[in-house]
Amino acid sequence: MKTLIAIPAFNEEESIGAVLADLASHHPLEHVIVIDDGSRDATFDIAHAAGVRVIRHAINLGVGGAMGSAFKFAARNQYDAVVQLDADGQHRPEFLSTLLEGIGRTDIVIGSRFAAGGGFRSTWARRNVQRVIAWTVSAYTRTRLTDVTSGFRVSGPDAIRLFSEHYPVEYLGDTVESLVLASRQGLTISEVPVIMNERAGGLPSQSIVRATLYTGRILLILVLAAFRSAPPNVTAMKKRVKRESAP
Amino acid sequence: MNPQILAIILSVIMLVIVLVLLRFYFLPEKYAVIWLVAAIAAIVLSVFPGVLDGISRFFGISQPINLLFVAGFFVVLLLLMQLSLELARTREQLRKVVQSIAADMERSSSGDD
């Protein structure tokens, strides 16, 4: 299975070097791509020097935009699986094989901090926010999911085809919206327990107020996602596939 | 015909337009909230004109319609301001993108790394 590790990075000069060094013992670096999402620091130079492929965005598009580029790259180069790995060292490469084992059973496999066997220390507010969002997404996908905001996940061939056409770009909503989009297109999702490191930078939902705003925004995205039809690119792709498969 | 019916019809049309634009991915989430709030506020005010009367009395405005004009104008100005800021940001990004593409083209045509 040809597997691409995609690392979206925005101003991650402090951690990207260590992440790539750690990754090197688990995956060949020629199949690793760093998406430098308009960084103003040395992220590009460090990644380039480490010998991985680097895509550089001229402006900051957010994690969703960066992953969109990664999926387009993967589709163009016939990859069978794309693993998203954070540049801040939160995701541990020793769990790559655990994630990849799940591909084939389902189209997307999420590394979950909250599934039995996973581990992550977290605040009370953050845990409950995660729980509410997880319940909602589980209802959409008709699968029991515990950690839908986890960025540590692998996408199989069908998911790569879908996401290379359209990947949600809304800030901090890309993880959940992509799951809803995938399940509405008939893709299957599962999760495996993983252990994550503490994030080096600030958490997006530290205080109760910020946690509430964050939850509200994600829930709004979810409500809209349910109401929306397929994105225009995806509809066009399905028509194309149907035409090609017709005799 | 009761003019209230016209107001209700117009505000419902506005809500439908917003929903259709959202459904087919023409309107991004980012702007969805403000337009949904505006459309729903228009429906509430046209169905219950008493709300407008009450608020006008509170501010001491004798003609409720004047409150509608003032408030509507203010909201439209805010929306215009937001559009100007977005446009400025987009132009700045466009400039960056064009400059970076131009730099890449120069690098690849001159043949050095």
- Give residue-wise pLDDT tens across range B89-112: 999 999 999 999 999 899 888 865
- Look at residue B51 and tell me if it is in a domain: yes
A189, A106 contact by CB (below 8 A): yes
- Work out how many domains chain B is built from and give that number: 1
A100, A1 contact by CB (below 8 A): yes
Which CATH number is A231's domain given? 3.90.550.10
Element (H, E) at A81: strand A81-84
Q: For residue A126, give the DSSP letter.
A: H
- Give residue-wise pLDDT tens across range A189-206: 999 999 888 764 444 445
Q: From the candidates B29, B93, B100, B101, which should be mutated to test the interface with A, based on the most A CB atoms within 10 A?
A: B29
> Which residue in chain B has the smallest CA separation from A228?
B23
Contact B25 A228 (CB under 8 A): yes
CB of A213 within 8 Å of a chain B CB? The answer is no
pLDDT at B28 over 80: yes
Edge-to-edge strand ranges of the sheet holding A53-56: A53-56, A32-36, A3-9, A81-84, A153-155, A108-112, A189-193
pLDDT at B113 over 70: no
Q: Average pLDDT for consecutive 10-residue bins of chain A (247 residues)?
A: 95 94 94 96 95 94 95 96 94 94 93 73 71 89 89 96 92 87 92 81 58 82 83 87 80
Which amino acid, residue A11? Answer: N
- Look at residue B72 and tell me if it is in a domain: yes
Report the b/e string of A9-30 with b at 16+ CB within 10 A.
bbbbbbbbbebbeebeeebeee
**Cβ-Cβ contacts under 8 Å, A232 against chain B:** 24-25
CB of A232 within 8 Å of a chain B CB? The answer is yes
Provide ipTM, 2 decimals.
0.77
**pLDDT value of position A240:** 87
- Look at residue B101 and tell me if it is in a domain: no
- Give residue-wise pLDDT tens across range A147-192: 898 899 999 999 999 999 999 988 778 899 999 999 989 999 999 9
Q: How confident is the prediction for chain B on average, in pLDDT?
A: 90
**pLDDT value of position A238:** 86
Q: Which domain holds residue A171?
A: 3-245
Instruction: Look at strands A81-84 and A3-9 and give their pairing.
Output: parallel
**pLDDT value of position A117:** 63
Helices (H), A42-87: 43-49, 62-76
**pLDDT value of position A83:** 97
Closest C-alpha among A8, A6, A11 to residue A32: A6
Q: How confident is the model at residue B77 (pLDDT cuts 50, 70, 90)?
A: very high
From the list A58, A59, A227, the residue facing B23 with the nearest CB is: A227
**pLDDT value of position A205:** 45
User: Could you tell me which residues of chain B have a Cβ less than 8 Å from any Cβ in chain A?
Assistant: 19, 22-25, 28-30, 32-33, 93, 96-97, 99-101
Which amino acid, residue A94? Answer: E
Q: Which domain holds residue B51?
A: 3-80
- Work out how many domains chain A is built from and give that number: 1
**pLDDT value of position B110:** 81
Report the b/e string of B72-104 with b at 16+ CB within 10 A.
eeeeeeeeeeeeeeeeeeeeeeeeeeeeeeeee
